[in-house]
Homo-oligomer: A and B are copies of this chain.
Amino acid sequence: MKRIISIILSAVVCVTAAAQNVRWHDAAELTVIGKPISTAKAFTRIDTAQYKFANRTIDRYAGYSTGLAVLFETDSHVIRTKWTTGPSNSGANMTAIGQKGLDLYIMKDGKWVFAGVGSPDMVKEPFCNHEGTIVADMADGTRQCLLYLPLFDKVDALEIGIEEGAVIRPIDNPFRYNIVVHGSSITHGASAGRPGMTYAARFGRDNGFYCMNLGFSGQCKLQPEYAAYLADIKDVDAFIFDVFSNPKAEEIYDRFDAFVDIVRKAHPDVPMIFLQTERRETRNFSLAREKFESEKQSAAAKVIRERMKSDKDIYFITSEDFLGYEHIATVDGSHPSDLGFTYMLESISPKIRKIFRKYGIR
């Protein structure tokens, strides 16, 4: 009996302490960045009521929080988060932190420095409700925060917890230019270790560019619905395309020009930078994969080089060094790990910045 009372008492103490210490704020009222076109729901990258895609998988992915981030400043010594995602288990080739977790960076000496992750609860089914401390025991002072949202899940609600008496408020988006990145799972972020580690997020964060992520895992096949969405975006300064990873060679030949036509009509002078698809490690020993993948790469090179003859604002970045040369930079043969994305960025980042400079994007 004594033990039961003691348990009840300590539970009461716990709840009281938590209630005293943490005040929860709806992150929807802070600055949410990453959407090329605004949406009704706070944490969805594309408004799926407004835009319909070819299949339900794409519709689902469109409603994900991929590439979105919340910007705020606070003088709290602790940052907690409470968020709700879909019920899915993690994919075999990604971490749950990347898939349904949060990833916080704090501005320090002019750079966004990693501060901590919101680790999703993968023990209590259905894996929807998550809560945790991202960072605690910080020094006094007001800090600017950049919190990336899950890459492969929807976020229905997100609250940020700060200590009683501390202040939290939105800050302006500090990233410059509107860079839209559209592509496959590689763009979507499989298999980044945490949400801020996609190549689009890293390229944006490291260079101060506003990169928006329209990666659609396995579903990026030069479909006209994507082109129509891209055409609807106002004020794009550049497109980066990873559109040769998912379609077969025939689909590349069949669809590429129609896709570019739609985007070009809406954005006549915007630079369009196409990344060749990586040389997948699944080719190392499979003759069938070698044939299939090299046909894709050769189709991509052909259609783009042909188009470049008549369009001076189209660029092509070849991919021979995207995964390094030691065959260790993917999780499963196809999807770059953080090491793969590092190799990829070492290759593409200087090339893209060089192109950007021609357009005054710096």
**Residues of A in contact with B (beta carbons under 8 Å apart):** 89-98, 101, 106, 108, 113-117, 119-123, 135-139, 143, 191, 193-194, 197, 202, 281-282, 284-289, 327-333, 337-340, 342
Contact B139 A287 (CB under 8 A): yes
Pull 10 A–B residue pairs with CB atoms less than 8 Å apart, ordered by A. A89-B90, A90-B95, A92-B119, A92-B121, A113-B284, A113-B327, A114-B330, A191-B193, A194-B331, A328-B338
User: Which of B90, B122, B137, B202 contacts A289 (CB under 8 A)?
Assistant: B137
How many copies the complex holds: the figure is 2
Q: Note all chain B residues with C-beta closer than 8 A to A289.
A: 137
Q: What residues on B are CB-neighbors of A143 within 8 Å?
A: 285
Inter-subunit contact A136/B92 (CB<8 Å): no
Residues A91 and B122 in contact, CB atoms below 8 Å apart = yes
User: Are A137 and B286 interface neighbours, CB within 8 A?
Assistant: yes
Contact in complex: B116, A282 (CB < 8 Å) = yes
CA distance A287 to B333 in the complex (A): 40
Residue from the list B90, B94, B202, B339 in contact with A338, Cβ < 8 A: B339
> A135-B286, A338-B329 known; A90 and B194 CB under 8 Å?
no
Tell whether, in the assembled complex, residue B342 and residue A116 are in contact, meaning their CB atoms are under 8 Å apart: no
Complex contact B119–A287 (CB within 8 A): no
With A193-B337, A194-B331, A329-B338 in contact, is A286–B92 under 8 Å at CB?
A: no
